[in-house]
Amino acid sequence: PKTHKTLSEVVEHKLPLRGEVKMIMFQICSILNSLHKQGIAHKALNLSNILLSDSFQITISKLGAQQQFAPGAFDQYEKRMQIHFLNGFKVIDQNPLYCAPEMFLERQIDWQKADVYATGVVFYVLLFRKFPFSCLQYAGLKQLVTEGELCTQQKISLSGAEEELVRGMLEKDDTKRWSFEECL
């Protein structure tokens, strides 16, 4: 029987090899590109809802947050997003470590571009085993995501194409952020 692990479980034990990361990212980008072409955005992508089989086949789960959108149009989902305060911290129903800058800035959100950003976070974690921006306090995380400099100089070095892809996916300006078409 096939067994599936979440990418979160995979990263906890060891980083995938570079070739495996490329195979994983190609599949994720292909799946989400296909969804976007159908007018569907995931809206809550993270390591815990990407499943990897023993044969390195990807399944993306928890599509419950996904919603139809008019192709090329913005929707008003952010107005319906559950935002509340817990012990003085603003909490949203998406893991904030994967949230695009525009989500922190409470601007209108192009969910296709927000999906690309979240996928860029996944790519970064698969490469470096850490998040591109991390802080325990909401205000600090917001500042890092919206203003912080992305560091790609880590213990492992990226090829020019890998660095360009990471930077394109994690671009702060959503109008300049890559699409999944460009990622592929």
Q: Does any domain span residue 90?
A: yes
3-class state of residue 70 by DSSP: coil
In this structure, what are the phi and psi dihedrals at residue 59, rounded to the nearest 5 degrees?
-130, 135
The pTM assigned to this predicted structure is: 0.84
Report how far residue 16's alpha carbon sits from residue 18's, in angstroms, rounded to the nearest whole number: 6
- CATH (domain of 129): 1.10.510.10
pLDDT tens string, the chain, 184 residues long: the values are 668 899 999 998 888 898 999 999 999 999 999 999 998 888 889 999 999 999 899 999 876 554 444 443 333 333 333 343 343 444 445 688 899 999 888 788 899 999 999 999 999 999 988 999 988 887 888 999 999 999 887 777 889 999 999 999 999 999 999 999 999 9
Question: What domain count does the chain have?
Answer: 1
Domain ranges, residue 81: 4-63+75-177
Q: How many CB atoms lie within 10 A of CB 62?
A: 15
In a domain, 70, yes or no: no
Q: Establish if 162 belongs to a structural domain.
A: yes
Closest CA to 63 of 38, 89, 91: 38
Burial of residue 42 (CB within 10 Å: 0-12, 13-18, 19+) is buried
